Amino acid sequence: MKQNIKKLSYFLLSTFVLLLFYLTYITFQQGEELATHPQNRRMAAKEAAIIRGTIYDRQGVSLAETKWQGQAGQRVYQTVEHVFPSAHVVGYVSERYGSSGLEAAYSKELLGLTEADAVENLLDKILNRTPRGNDLILTLDASLQSRALALLGNRRGAVVALDPRTGAVLAMVSSPAFNSNTVKDPEIWEQLNKAEANAPLLNRATQGAYPPGSVIKLLTGAGILANHVDQPEKTIDCPGYVIIDGNKITDNQVHHQVNFTKALALSCNTYFAQEGVKLGWHNLLDTFEKFGLNQNPDLEIPVRAGTFAVAERRNKSQLAETSFGQGDTLLSPLHMALACSAIANQGTIMKPYLVKEIRKPEGQVVRLTESSPWLSATTPEIAGLITQGMVDAVDWGTGSGASLKGIKVAGKTGTAETKNTQDPTSAPHAWFVGFAPADNPQVVVAVIVEKGGSGSKVAAPIARDVMAAALSGK
């Protein structure tokens, strides 16, 4: 009997020690994360007594602010024609449904609950003042956001515009957008979640998974040149198709003799399929990794990393298709914008960011985001050769729809076939990536229109107007 009691005592003591260790881990390792989690009800109650900081665009336009009415604060978002163009980036705050976007990522800062705010919070208690959180100043341009969303119209898709010199995201729009002001309404919330086909809550710019089509040729080309698979001036004959491993891959047309830059300008699948197979899986995937396609740039909002064919599917036919943007490859518009920025910035991808500054309500800067390199994707020489092909694409190739009067534009179109077994006649996705001015890049743009058709006819004109607006500052 005594022996059993002794064993029970040891068991209870061990359980107590384990529980103590677990509670210590929760408190010190996960305490802060759990305390500020969007679904934490205690956090919502605490927030009700704080004036949440304002979120501004790069020009000082208020995108989200708390308007205090009596004893309660109401979060108000800037809408244009009943939608919030920055909804997927800024997000929302709801007592019932939590928060998303930057509202969630920067909740502590917006509520003034960081360690740096401790003294001020103590003074607020002593002086019986209503606490106020810090403000965010974003890199986004509200007018550019509205313009990009308007250009997409009622079509599903996304636009990403960034400064290749700094990594600052100038625009990030996903269509359809939604109104963050109405998320708190249970009926609206249910509608947003039930709209599976349109998926309005999905940020297509960062989480969309699309076959890249011919825009991937920029990266395949970088791999070809880096690994000396072919010389830029060498020509091959394009009869309008290529046979790889017994499979006939049809091109968009007969291109006859093409070299590297002409193949890029005319988007010749035959050239990139042949040279991509010579490049091999190892070198192609290594190139994609150097451009960050399979990585998360830590943008502080959810980002889907790119995916490629699994090992057992990496045959020659799949390699050929992957080389010109078909096959099993799925990428987000953000990743293609970043990859294009490497070409614009002489081979270096700057780390993308959305928050330029965090400021106290009185205007004192708490944190300033400094630009920093993220990846060294390729060399300036290779970036220069690819740029020439992109300039030719806009001047006389497939990307002429993106040309701007008086400004040299570099661009690449893509028309990505969709694998829809239920609807084999489904239209392809329309892509365009490019930058301007080509000789002094200030803005990179990536556009996708889901099932939009031709990249040259649909996506290129959208990119043209977004680049024009970004360069003019309007």
d(CA 155, CA 157): 6
Within 8 A by CB and 6+ apart from 319, the residues are: 244, 276, 277, 280, 281, 284, 327
Would you state the pLDDT for residue 87?
Answer: 97
- Domains delineated in the chain: 206-354+371-472 (3.40.710.10)
Closest CA to 433 of 390, 400, 397: 390
Would you state the pLDDT for residue 34?
Answer: 53
**Could you list the mean pLDDT of each consecutive 10-residue stretch along the chain, which spans 474 residues?**
65 73 64 52 62 95 89 87 96 92 95 75 66 94 98 97 98 97 92 86 96 97 90 90 90 94 96 95 97 95 96 94 94 98 98 97 92 97 97 96 96 87 75 97 98 94 98 80
Q: Per the structure block, which two tokens stand in for 146?
A: 């509205």
Would you state the pLDDT for residue 50?
Answer: 81
Collapse the DSSP code of 74 into the 3-class scheme (helix H, G, I; strand E, B; otherwise coil) and give the result.
strand
Residue 116 DSSP code: G
Cβ neighbours of 134 (radius 10 Å):
25
pTM, to two decimals: 0.88
Would you state the pLDDT for residue 423?
Answer: 60
Q: Which helix (H) or strand (E) holds 411?
A: strand 410-416
Would you state the pLDDT for residue 10?
Answer: 65
Cβ neighbours of 14 (radius 10 Å):
10
Would you state the pLDDT for residue 375?
Answer: 98
Residue 443's region, left for phi above 0, alpha for psi from -120 to 50, else beta, is beta
Q: What are phi and psi of 91, to 5 degrees?
A: 85, -145
Q: Per the structure block, which two tokens stand in for 233?
A: 């001036």
Distance (Å) of CA 226 to CA 44, 222, 287, 347, 459: 53, 6, 9, 12, 29
Beta pairing class for 55-56 and 135-138 = parallel
d(CA 411, CA 200): 29
Amino acid identity of residue 419, one-letter, is: K
Cis ω before 176 (30° cut-off from 0)? yes
Structure-derived torsion over alpha carbons of residues 91, 94, 97, 98, reported in degrees to the nearest 10:
70
Q: Is the distance from CB of 434 to CB of 394 less than 8 angstroms?
A: yes
